[in-house]
Chain A
């Protein structure tokens, strides 16, 4: 069975570094890379009636925009010989990365360090810390 790496990717510098790391590993081990872009979204946030009305359209736009960020990167990697898939989801990043990792029987989660200060991370619970606490499989944080 081939290994599968889940990479949290949002187009930022940090996430690119995580991807570089993942693809270098994948080249050696022949693993699959699965890129996940999470659009932060909560089922419990509050909206004005007008925002509710536009929600469906905005969601489509968000998905479209996110796909244009992640799809070219996946294509490029495929060309370079690393088997890569990608998906865009709405929700909480930590929860979704864990869920996808479990469903896909992944072997590793790879994410970039968010770069928030220690204080902010402690206070607001950054993605890396949260994920480190709940990840169902080994996880690599790329600085």
Chain B
């Protein structure tokens, strides 16, 4: 193990001197990948004109699914919110299950996969392109997405595979194939599952990898001039760190990140709150701008529809509701009632989008950092907004961004790996191949410019949503059945609060 680290460390300076010789490696990598990216992006983001604005069908697809789930389960995200909190707090946790994965842990792990650069950089992009009004639609999308998340995570637990050695595999691959075969659509289920797995691998390389690497590079090059124009070098370093964890099995790095990330999230939200308090007098104005911008924006391409598209897009990309990724992480939880995990999971879009993303955009709007057509977008915009009150905050944000990015990459590498092994079967060499590819994409992601990266990432993640949601429609009645079963047990007293023993 040590040898491997030493080798990697020694080879870094060598590689850097090698690459310095060839100037503009970033551009080279970017040019090589772009031709493959655009056709895919064009297909996924097929748009139709709505009131003169091109409206990507995929955004409508996600929103319709969220609305359908919300209505089908009778606004479960509002009715069940309290119950969700009780479950996470451990009010229903059986003491005899101590040592198993708790609802809190499943939620925290899934959150560390979704709370990432989408919350910092993605919101910057949304506000830049969609104006303050995008925030409103982002919140709406976040609230609706809670129902989608409920649905997919309930299914993830119900149809998971439990193996003899005690490990579990779950996620859309499993509920699509097993769930649909129950209702006599085995072939369709199999096809959807395989397609989902393919998109999940691609999504893990896109949104779960390249986007993260790219934006943390932008952030680091802003504060350490040395890295400017050397995306590939930063990529190599990141790839080495990711490699240590996923290939070298050095869990300590992941463990350290997992411990710092929640702290960083609290610090981030805390700083945002302080900035909002400092500028408290501008809060009404900011809310005015958000509401106005949502329905009658000026200076935004596409007007209200433009704001809506940006808000919905970023929300979906950030909280991954409907994408299916979170149900992979949630399926490991210890529970006899799949619906409980649905309840726990519906908090995810709430924390991720309604709380954290909204904080970011409020800071951007309140500090007046948003300047249309200024070219300041993504993480640079967020950074500028935070810097307006705390000079030097950029450093903190850079660290937060890189840690968020890192933990998101680790999570997604796992989602991708699960999809990979679903297709190719488990085996050391097969898994290594995927992990190696994953590391290569870190370098590619850091080297490319933001535009193509974000397009590719969005395209892949949303392609997952196309398949996942198709399956969800078929499986909605099953979820209703599971939910009814759970509520029956609650009502009959078969499931009782164990609060005294568990929540100390």
- Residues of A at the B interface (CB closer than 8 Å) are 39, 41, 43-60, 62-63, 89-92, 95, 99
Which of B98, B108, B259, B502 lies at the interface centre, i.e. has the most chain A CB atoms within 10 A of its CB?
B98
Tell yes or no: B168 within 8 A of A by CB. yes
Q: Select the stretch in B99-107, B181-189, B279-287, B477-485 that faces chain A.
A: B99-107
Complex Cα distance A88/B410, Å? 33
CB of B410 within 8 A of CB of A39, answer: no
CB of A49 within 8 A of CB of B105, answer: no
**B: interface residue count bin:** 35 or more
Tell yes or no: B380 within 8 A of A by CB. no
Chain B at the A interface: SS class = helix
Contact of A48 among B254, B333, B334 (CB under 8 A): B254
Tell yes or no: B229 within 8 A of A by CB. no
CB of B90 within 8 A of CB of A43, answer: yes
**In the complex, what's the smallest C-beta–C-beta distance from B111 to chain A, in angstroms?**
10
Contact of A53 among B104, B108, B168, B334 (CB under 8 A): B168
A-B contact pairs, 10 of them (CB 8 A): A41-B98, A46-B262, A47-B258, A48-B410, A52-B101, A52-B332, A53-B167, A56-B100, A63-B99, A99-B501
Complex Cα distance A91/B99, Å? 7
Task: Chain B residues near A57: list those with CB within 8 A.
Answer: 165-167
Task: Chain A residues near B255: list those with CB within 8 A.
Answer: 48
Tell yes or no: B268 within 8 A of A by CB. no
Complex Cα distance A90/B95, Å? 9
Given contacts A46-B109, A48-B109, A50-B414, contact A55 B332 (CB under 8 A): yes
**In the complex, what's the smallest C-beta–C-beta distance from B265 to chain A, in angstroms?**
11
- Residues of B at the A interface (CB closer than 8 Å) are 90, 93, 98-102, 104-106, 108-109, 112-113, 165-169, 251, 254-255, 258-259, 261-262, 328-329, 332-334, 410-411, 414-415, 501-502, 504
Complex Cα distance A48/B257, Å? 9
CB of A52 within 8 A of CB of B106, answer: yes
CB of B332 within 8 A of CB of A49, answer: yes
Complex Cα distance A46/B260, Å? 10
Task: Chain B residues near A54: list those with CB within 8 A.
Answer: 166-167
Which of A48, A55, A57 lies at the interface centre, i.e. has the most chain B CB atoms within 10 A of its CB?
A48
CB of A44 within 8 A of CB of B99, answer: no
Given contacts A44-B105, A59-B99, contact A49 B167 (CB under 8 A): no
Task: Chain A residues near B251: list those with CB within 8 A.
Answer: 48, 51
CB of A48 within 8 A of CB of B166, answer: no
**Residue on B nearest A61 in the bound complex, by CB:** B166
Which of A39, A43, A44, A91 lies at the interface centre, i.e. has the most chain B CB atoms within 10 A of its CB?
A43
Given contacts A52-B329, A54-B167, A63-B99, contact A43 B415 (CB under 8 A): no
Complex Cα distance A55/B99, Å? 8
Extra 17 A-B pairs, beta carbons < 8 Å, given A41-B98, A43-B98, A46-B112: A43-B105, A44-B104, A44-B105, A45-B105, A48-B109, A49-B113, A50-B414, A52-B101, A52-B105, A53-B169, A53-B332, A55-B99, A55-B101, A55-B332, A56-B167, A90-B98, A92-B504
Given contacts A46-B108, A46-B109, contact A62 B99 (CB under 8 A): yes
**Residue on A nearest B414 in the bound complex, by CB:** A49
Contact of B502 among A41, A43, A50, A60 (CB under 8 A): A43
Question: Across chains A and B, which 9 residue pairs bring their CB atoms closest together, nearest first?
Answer: A57-B166, A90-B99, A90-B98, A52-B332, A59-B99, A43-B102, A49-B414, A46-B258, A56-B166
Given contacts A45-B105, A47-B258, contact A89 B98 (CB under 8 A): yes
Task: Chain B residues near A45: list those with CB within 8 A.
Answer: 105
CB of A91 within 8 A of CB of B411, answer: no
Task: Chain B residues near A39: list those with CB within 8 A.
Answer: 99
Complex Cα distance A63/B97, Å? 12
Task: Chain A residues near B258: list those with CB within 8 A.
Answer: 46-48
CB of B328 within 8 A of CB of A49, answer: yes
**In the complex, what's the smallest C-beta–C-beta distance from B459 to chain A, in angstroms?**
24
Given contacts A43-B502, A47-B258, A48-B414, contact A55 B104 (CB under 8 A): no
**Residue on B nearest A103 in the bound complex, by CB:** B501
Complex Cα distance A49/B333, Å? 11
**Residue on A nearest B112 in the bound complex, by CB:** A46
Which of B112, B165, B166 lies at the interface centre, i.e. has the most chain A CB atoms within 10 A of its CB?
B166
Task: Chain B residues near A58: list those with CB within 8 A.
Answer: 166
**In the complex, what's the smallest C-beta–C-beta distance from B246 to chain A, in angstroms?**
9
CB of A43 within 8 A of CB of B104, answer: yes
CB of B254 within 8 A of CB of A55, answer: no
Task: Chain B residues near A55: list those with CB within 8 A.
Answer: 99-101, 332, 334
Given contacts A53-B332, A57-B167, contact A46 B101 (CB under 8 A): no
CB of A49 within 8 A of CB of B109, answer: yes
Complex Cα distance A111/B502, Å? 24
Complex Cα distance A47/B105, Å? 7
**In the complex, what's the smallest C-beta–C-beta distance from B389 to chain A, in angstroms?**
30
CB of A52 within 8 A of CB of B109, answer: yes
**Residue on A nearest B110 in the bound complex, by CB:** A49
Complex Cα distance A99/B414, Å? 38
Given contacts A43-B93, A46-B108, contact A56 B101 (CB under 8 A): yes
CB of B100 within 8 A of CB of A59, answer: yes
Complex Cα distance A63/B262, Å? 29
Task: Chain B residues near A60: list those with CB within 8 A.
Answer: 166
Task: Chain B residues near A50: list those with CB within 8 A.
Answer: 414
Complex Cα distance A62/B258, Å? 22
**In the complex, what's the smallest C-beta–C-beta distance from B136 to chain A, in angstroms?**
33
CB of B105 within 8 A of CB of A41, answer: no
Complex Cα distance A13/B275, Å? 54
Task: Chain B residues near A41: list those with CB within 8 A.
Answer: 98-99
Complex Cα distance A9/B91, Å? 29
Task: Chain A residues near B100: list those with CB within 8 A.
Answer: 55-56, 59
Task: Chain A residues near B502: list those with CB within 8 A.
Answer: 43
Task: Chain B residues near A89: list those with CB within 8 A.
Answer: 98
CB of B105 within 8 A of CB of A46, answer: yes
**Residue on A nearest B329 in the bound complex, by CB:** A49
CB of A47 within 8 A of CB of B167, answer: no
